[in-house]
C-alpha cells in the first residue's frame, strides 16, 4: 500500500517528512505566492455557493493518486525534509 500525508497550511510549513510524501496545500493566495516552490496544491474555490468545489476536489484527488503512484512532492524534489528523532526519550524542543 501507499501512504501520503496531505497537510494544509495557511502561513507556510514548507518542509517534508523523510518516510512519507507530504502534499502541502493552501487556500491562502499570499502564502502560495510566497512559497510557490514549496507548496504542491493551491485550492481556490470559485465562490461560497460551491462552484468550483468539485473541480478542486478532483484535482486534489488526482494529485494524491499521482504522489501515491511515485510522483515526487515539491519537498522531495528540493530535498527539504526534517528528520524526526524517533528514538528520543523524554521531551524535545
The confidence score (pLDDT) of residue 2 equals 78
pLDDT band at residue 82 under the 50/70/90 scheme: low
State the Cα–Cα distance between residues 12 and 24, nearest whole angstrom. Answer: 9
35-81 pLDDT per residue, tens: 998 999 988 765 566 667 888 888 899 999 999 999 999 999 988 77
State the Cα–Cα distance between residues 14 and 37, nearest whole angstrom. Answer: 9
The confidence score (pLDDT) of residue 23 equals 94
Domain spans in the chain, listed from the N-terminal domain onward? 5-77
Q: What mean pLDDT is predicted for residues 14-24?
A: 84
The confidence score (pLDDT) of residue 49 equals 61
Amino acid at each position: 500500500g501507499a501512504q501520503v500525508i496531505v497537510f494544509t497550511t495557511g502561513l507556510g510549513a514548507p518542509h517534508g517528512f523523510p518516510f512519507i510524501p507530504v502534499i502541502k496545500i493552501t487556500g491562502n493566495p499570499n502564502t502560495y505566492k510566497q512559497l510557490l516552490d514549496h507548496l504542491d496544491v493551491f485550492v481556490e474555490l470559485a465562490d461560497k455557493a460551491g462552484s468550483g468545489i468539485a473541480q478542486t476536489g478532483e484535482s486534489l484527488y488526482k494529485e494524491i493518486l499521482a504522489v501515491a503512484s511515485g510522483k515526487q512532492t515539491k519537498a522531495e524534489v528540493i530535498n527539504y525534509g526534517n528528520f524526526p528523532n524517533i528514538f528520543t526519550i523524554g521531551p524535545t524542543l
